[in-house]
């Protein structure tokens, strides 16, 4: 038992100085976020690649707006490559402004591309940004996006949405 407590104390002593480097966000900060993902089968065929970039601005210490652009490529042997995109805007409220910055928000956007029904998307989101130094942070979020083509479809479409998970790196400047 003593060994476990000692080990936990050593880990805490090693981690605390790193987490103390961050400054959180303040009004006027701008952000750049980058994330990506990919998947292939065991023969490295049937590949899906996705990249996302976001640009944000803090209106206050806790309220930020963001523009997000995502691009996807689906490569299936024997067929042409399929591309799709998603363009969104989001508003996020940050519950903390220090090293760990949890957030809640909502996004609205449009998806389009090959073999995708061009349509509107919207939904709530939660996330967490963890500063590793004064300007760099690890970002993670979960969105629930639902699809609709007109305003009167929004309530019906909420039940037929999808979860979107993001893990990436961000920079404030």
Q: pTM of this prediction?
A: 0.78
CA atoms in the 13 A half-sphere facing the CB of 27: 2
Does residue 9 carry a pLDDT above 50?
no
pLDDT, one tens digit per residue, over 17-68 is: 444 445 789 999 999 999 998 888 877 778 889 999 999 999 999 999 999 9
CA torsion sign for 169, 25, 90, 124 is: positive
C-alpha–C-alpha distance, residues 150 and 88, integer Å: 16
Check: CB of residue 65 under 8 Å from CB of residue 91. yes
pLDDT, one tens digit per residue, over 108-153 is: 999 999 878 899 999 999 999 999 999 999 999 999 998 887 655 5
Q: What is the mean pLDDT of residues 81-94?
A: 95
Average pLDDT, the chain: 84
Cβ-proximal residues to 72 (8 Å cutoff; 6+ apart), any chain: 48, 49, 50, 83, 84, 85, 113
């Amino acid at each position: 038992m003593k060994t476990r407590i000692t080990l936990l104390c050593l880990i805490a002593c090693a981690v605390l100085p790193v987490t103390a480097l961050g400054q959180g966000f303040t009004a006027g900060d701008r952000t750049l976020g980058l994330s990506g993902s990919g998947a292939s089968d065991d023969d490295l065929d049937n590949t899906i690649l996705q990249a996302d970039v976001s640009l944000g601005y803090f209106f206050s210490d806790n309220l930020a707006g963001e523009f997000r652009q995502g691009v996807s490529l689906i490569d299936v042997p024997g067929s042409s490559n399929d591309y799709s995109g998603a363009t969104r805007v989001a508003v996020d409220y940050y519950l903390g402004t220090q090293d760990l910055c949890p957030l809640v928000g909502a996004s609205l956007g449009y998806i389009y591309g090959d073999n995708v029904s061009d349509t509107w998307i919207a939904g709530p989101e939660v996330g967490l940004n963890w500063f590793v130094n004064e300007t760099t942070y690890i970002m993670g979020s979960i969105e629930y996006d639902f699809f609709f083509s007109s305003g009167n479809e929004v309530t019906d479409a909420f039940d037929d949405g999808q979860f979107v998970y993001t893990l990436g790196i961000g920079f404030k400047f």
